[in-house]
With several copies, the nearest count.
Chain A
């Protein structure tokens, strides 16, 4: 098992005919992911490297049985793309696109929560990988190996850093999910923790947070109340100054809220050990796995 994606995953790509979409989707396919369709209105009937293109997602889903959509379309078209994938009932939508206006996402989020039949990962996220099974998005598959650690993160390259350190130590991963760094993302830490808790393959979870918002604090409460699976955490941004937006639209410390310190304390209060840097996190994971036996 794994969470969200596995060997049964069939992916339809929104924006496959674009530069980013084709580059990463072909990499995903090389990894072994079933990329079954692309969608570009007006290019229906064509093929890209053997992958059939459709005019609409619903047509693609019906024809190919795709159960995951991944979107690389430009920010101004991406909200419509998410809604289209949800409307086609593909079940999981992964939106890699960054720079979607917050108001657009607020509306999309509200709409998706009403229907509840579609999970959205992202936007502004690297996607997710279940090592050895399926890779959807831009995470480099080479730095992962299959194993017992579930990883969930708001960040991209920082996640790679942690995955790399784990892999270097010989510790594999069940699924690594980049939930995205925007103020509004479809899937929260808690959504992933819930799934990891249910996944028999995941023996331990590493959570990588960052400044801004209160998702880490909520995750700490959730872990405390609901999780048997051990969790270790890492927070980026201890030295970030208040009021500055640190790259991610969501990464901003407002007043006394959203600081890395507060988040680390929340985790520690919930019995979650917090690493000070990526190397320390990897060490904590190693220790915790050893103690599980």
Chain B
């Protein structure tokens, strides 16, 4: 689960990572009143989960409530790379003396945590790594041992940040690590981490991803999740416990198992089509799951066809077929549904579909054939 900047900063505040004073606003009026409360110059920042909002005009400096209202008016509702801005963060403007970078993530290749600090902030860190490796300190943290003080030293001295910023940065690194472990994050990134003219070190931006699998340990994070899932179709899938990702094609995809669904997207592409989504009903899906999955996928009005690709293992094809029959019975189905069933009880499943003989159900024998048909029958 990827958090918005302001949500990440809420966590920063809880883990005592210093941030500029700020307030969230969803309307220009709220923004103006936030500016009044904060006083002085403020920064109005679009809350979107995509890079490059600065270049897109999603960050504006403002002085006083009027300027802030205007800035918020121009930013709220803006479309930044397909993300509509629904919230802005109003923050006190900082007196930036220098900009740094700090992050922590799970390095799956090393099976350890990777901490990185750079004296070059506000830039893409892969670029810094490639062009100015001396400005970047990287260390691995043993998951059993945890972060050691000497490693914090290696980061602050090795990255070449200003001597004035060392103790503040060291403290932030320790707290970032605590947040990462205690909140079960998969990424915590501060870019830029700044040194102010007053000698403070602050997190000016936040990028935090949480481990969905660990949410059972953090019931209080559920409310973060509610805000994150803003797309109505994605929310619909989440409510039905389906693994759904919105894509930009017009062929709806349903399958069982992440690998098989990915492979299905590829085969559709090879057949000249484009997938409208990724939907994995998971292992052991029953009739209800299939029926729900079709409901979610069919709610996309731009759809041309649907491909259901099931390889039965734990999942029984007869139940899958029942789910499809149920869905086409209760929903207004305006596009063809190509169905390919194989594995456990596949014959029985095919029989059920053939008995139902719904005009929109198109049977297919193999994955490739199914993909071809899904492209062919598109309306």
A residues sitting closer than 8 Å to B (CB atoms) are 24, 41-42, 44, 55-59, 75-77, 80-81, 83-84, 87, 99-104, 106-107, 109-111, 113, 126, 138-140, 142-143, 153-161, 164, 181, 183-184, 208, 210-211, 213-214, 218, 236-241, 244-251, 255, 260, 276-279
Contacts and interface: CB of A to CB of B under 8 A. Distances in A.
> Lowest 8 CB-CB distances: which A-B pairs, in order?
A155-B259, A247-B258, A157-B257, A158-B259, A84-B150, A101-B214, A106-B143, A157-B260
A247 B106 contact: no
Interface in B251-274: 255-263, 265-270
Contacts of A240: 262, 265, 278
Nearest to A209: B259
Contacts of A84: 148, 150, 153
Interface stretch (B59-67, B94-102, B108-116): B108-116
B142 A277 contact: no
Nearest to A23: B314
Interface of B: 106, 108-109, 111-113, 126, 142-145, 148-151, 153-154, 157-158, 163, 166, 181, 184, 186, 211-214, 216-217, 243, 245, 247, 255-263, 265-270, 275, 278, 280, 283, 311-315, 342-344, 366-368
A101 B106 CA distance: 12
A241 B109 contact: no
B313 A250 contact: no
B152 to A, nearest CB: 9
B108 A278 contact: no
> Which has the most chain A C-beta neighbours within 10 Å: B112, B149, B314?
B314
13 contacts: A55-B157, A57-B150, A101-B211, A103-B181, A110-B144, A126-B313, A157-B255, A157-B256, A157-B257, A158-B259, A159-B259, A236-B266, A240-B265
Contacts of A210: 258-259, 262
B313 A251 contact: no
Interface centre among B259, B261, B280 (most CB of A within 10 A): B259
B275 A101 contact: no
Contacts of A102: 106, 184, 186, 211, 213-214
Contact of A56 (B111, B150, B184, B212): B150
A59 B157 CA distance: 10
B343 A247 contact: no
B150 A106 contact: no
A277 B143 contact: no
